[in-house]
Amino acid sequence: MPAKVRFHFEPCLRILLATLSAFLLTRWSSIAVLALPWSPEQSVVTGMQLGFVVFAATVIWVFVASSLRNACLGLLPPTLLLIYFSHGAGL
């Protein structure tokens, strides 16, 4: 692949990865909070606040990682963990 095409291709992939993974991790973290033994109102507020932190941290991680491969591998453990806990919430 020519260097110019590669130069434009990787940032586009990082933007796509950051957008999709941040959305999904935010969704799963907000659902996972519902598994905690709190009142529904407190779970909703905590899930919303946690969503802002997770979204920002995910986007920062994708762009700080040294390569696109490391960004994907770094997102894998929290993704699997949040999927596990969100299914434990019974939703």
pLDDT at 4 over 80: no
Given pLDDT bands bounded at 50, 70 and 90, which one contains residue 89?
low
Q: Write down the residue that tokens 């291709």 correspond to.
A: 9
DSSP 2: -
- Given phi > 0 = left and psi -120 to 50 = alpha, else beta, which region is 28? alpha
- The pLDDT tens digits of the residues spanning 9-38 come to 888 999 999 999 999 999 988 888 888 889
pTM over 0.75: yes
Cα torsion 57, 58, 64, 66 to 10°: value is 140
For residue 36, count other CB atoms closer than 10 A to its CB.
13
